[in-house]
Structure 1
């Protein structure tokens, strides 16, 4: 439904290695990648072919989250205790959650048979590993949880554009 089917079937190790390799070789001043074979840039078509994601769909816009808004989003969307959410935000020093913490939330919600919440946790983890990864590949911004708040309203996003924008930022 969200257009992430290609990521579900891709190997996490390959995706993480690929994205980390590109992130490490990024030259911000010139907006290019330094590779052993020379310099290159990545296009929408490249990202679409590598991640098997759709190019065309709706764009997602968001506003910056402060600590209270981040906490509220975690409590409402992932049904975690407010104190637990606050502690995770403090641990990550901002509007991020650790991927390991997110996996624990996923397992807990599955054991309680809260499938919608489990799906949100799974999808946030998936995009955090594959589309919005950083050099550490250990956390994901909570802002992306907004993609998955209401399953009925969304029919997919321009994931390739989002991934490319994230890489270039």
Structure 2
């Protein structure tokens, strides 16, 4: 938790996922207006704001824009340097990490874990939070590697506007729905 707090992800780590009710989601999608990014409800218009995202997840909303690199030249090297391990994927130029791999490699730490091992586990956990809670993609079981370089120095992670990236992803996914 100290490393998650250092990175500004302590509150986001406490966020729990839940099963979505399809009928509720369907009703919300029908009321979404992509041109205004609002829900049109019987009581009036409603939108999700940057402040809502910050309050709900407790992530930073001020700072540099979160923009990951879409293509990582040496993903194996990147994973070894920041996570201390790399997936045994058949393709050497993979672009995302499976949650099953993250869980298998970082769920249990030794009681004698070094500071470096703890930081690697914190990065892995933040990657899981990013891909599983904050910015899930359509296959919901992977997170893109583009965010991993942003976690290199855990002290600098909170200098990024993660809330803005989450809000942008929310609008994008709502428009697609």
Shift in Å, 1:160: 0.9
Unaligned runs of at least 5 residues, structure 2: 1-5, 173-177
Question: Equivalent residue for 1:42?
Answer: 48
Kindly tell me: are residues 97 and 72 of structure 1, through their superposed partners in 2, closer, same or farther at Cα, counting changes over 3 Å?
same
How many matched pairs? 157
Q: Quote the RMSD (CA, aligned, Å).
A: 3.4
Shift in Å, 1:131: 1.0
Secondary structure of 1:55's aligned partner? coil
Aligned runs of 1:110-149 on 2, under 5 Å?
Answer: 110-111=109-110, 113=113, 114-149=117-152
Among 59, 79, 82, the residue aligned to 1:53:
59
Question: Equivalent residue for 2:3?
Answer: none
Specify the structure having the higher radius of gyration (Cα): 2
Unaligned runs of at least 5 residues, structure 1: none
**Cα contact 1:34–1:40 (8 A) shared by 2:** yes
Aligned runs of 1:1-169 on 2, under 5 Å?
Answer: 1-13=6-18, 17=20, 21=25, 25=29, 30=35, 32=37, 40-66=46-72, 68-81=73-86, 84=88, 86-87=89-90, 94-107=94-107, 110-111=109-110, 113=113, 114-169=117-172
Distance (Å, rounded) in 1 between the aligned partners of 2:36 and 2:97: 28
Q: TM-score, normalised by structure 2?
A: 0.68
Secondary structure of 1:61's aligned partner? coil
Q: Which has the higher helix share?
A: 1
